[in-house]
Amino acid sequence: MKLTKRSHACIRLEKDGRTLVIDPGAFSEEDAAVGADAVLVTHEHMDHYSEDRLRAGMEANPGAEIWTLASVAEQISAAFPGRVHTVGHGDSFTAAGFDVQVHGELHAVIHPDIPRITNVGFLIDGGKVFHPGDALTVPGQAVETLMLPVMAPWNKISEVIDYVREVRPQRAYDIHDALLTDLARPIYDNQVGALGGAEHLRLTPGASAEV
C-alpha cells in the first residue's frame, strides 16, 4: 500500500484505488480528509480530531464513513447521520477495503493532575501499519510499519526508544512531530535510529512511501 504523511499525526493509506485517512486534526492540512473513502480517528484532542477537516472529507465524498471511539462519535454522529461507527478495544472491521483491528483504551498520561481520556490505536491489514494515536500501545502481534509519536507533551525520547524496542517493527516512521523543531530532528533521528532496533524513517508532509 502507499503511505503518505500529512502534517503532524495524520497519515493517508491507499490500496486498490481506495483511500483511508487516520487522524486529520487541526494541525494537519485543511484538505487532509478530502478524497478519503474512510476516516479513522484515535481520540478527541484537536490535533487528531477536527470537525472541519472531517466535514470537508465527508462533503467531498458522500460515500465516505468514519470509525472512531465513543467520545468522538458522540460529538459528530448528528452531523453525519448513518456514517459514523463507534469502535473500541478488541473490535475488528473493514473500512474502504482495509482490515482494521482496534487496540488500546486510554491516552498516555500527560500529568497526574490531568484526567486521562480514551484513545485507540488502529492496526491495518494484519500488521502492515499500526497507528497508536496518543499512547504507547503494544498491539501484541507483528507490526511491519509503526507510526511513531516522537514528540508530545506526554512522552520523552527514552520512552519512544523503548516503545520501538517493545513493538519490534521492521520500520518506524515519525508522526506527532509538529512540535519538533528542525534543530532537534537530527538528535531524534540518531538516537531512535541507533537505539530502537528498527529502521527509523521520516517523511516530510506530502511525501509518500510504499509499505
How far is the first Cα of the chain from the last one, in angstroms, to the nearest whole number? 6
Q: pLDDT tens digits for 98-118?
A: 999 999 999 999 999 999 999
Q: How far apart are CA 91 and CA 126, in angstroms?
A: 13
Say which residue the cell 464513513 belongs to: 65
Phi, psi of 133 (to 5 degrees): 65, -140
User: What is the reported pLDDT for 39?
Assistant: 98
Q: Where does the pLDDT of residue 188 fall: very low under 50, low under 70, confident under 90, or very high at 90 and above?
A: very high
Alpha-carbon dihedral angle through residues 144, 88, 149, 207, given to the nearest 10 degrees: 60
DSSP state of 198: S
133 and 104 Cβ atoms separated by less than 8 Å: yes
Q: Which domains does the chain have, with CATH numbers?
A: 2-143 (3.60.15.10)
**Distance of alpha carbon 140 from the chain centroid:** 17
User: What is the reported pLDDT for 152?
Assistant: 96
Determine how many CB atoms are found less than 10 A away from the CB of residue 105: 16
Query: What sign for the dihedral angle of Cα 140, 199, 38, 73?
Result: positive
User: What is the reported pLDDT for 68?
Assistant: 98
User: What is the reported pLDDT for 77?
Assistant: 96
Query: pTM higher than 0.75 for the full model?
Result: yes
Q: pLDDT tens digits for 41-92?
A: 999 999 999 999 999 999 999 999 999 999 999 999 999 999 999 999 999 9
Say which residue the cell 473490535 belongs to: 91
Q: pLDDT tens digits for 113-167?
A: 999 999 999 999 999 999 999 999 999 999 999 999 999 999 999 999 999 999 9
User: What is the reported pLDDT for 163?
Assistant: 98
41 and 27 Cβ atoms separated by less than 8 Å: no
User: What is the reported pLDDT for 147?
Assistant: 98
User: What is the reported pLDDT for 74?
Assistant: 97
User: What is the reported pLDDT for 172?
Assistant: 98
What SS3 class is residue 188?
Answer: helix
What SS3 class is residue 7?
Answer: coil
Q: pLDDT tens digits for 2-52?
A: 999 999 999 999 999 999 999 999 999 999 999 999 999 999 999 999 999
User: What is the reported pLDDT for 149?
Assistant: 98
User: What is the reported pLDDT for 24?
Assistant: 98
Note the residue count of the chain.
Answer: 211
Phi, psi of 69 (to 5 degrees): -80, 170
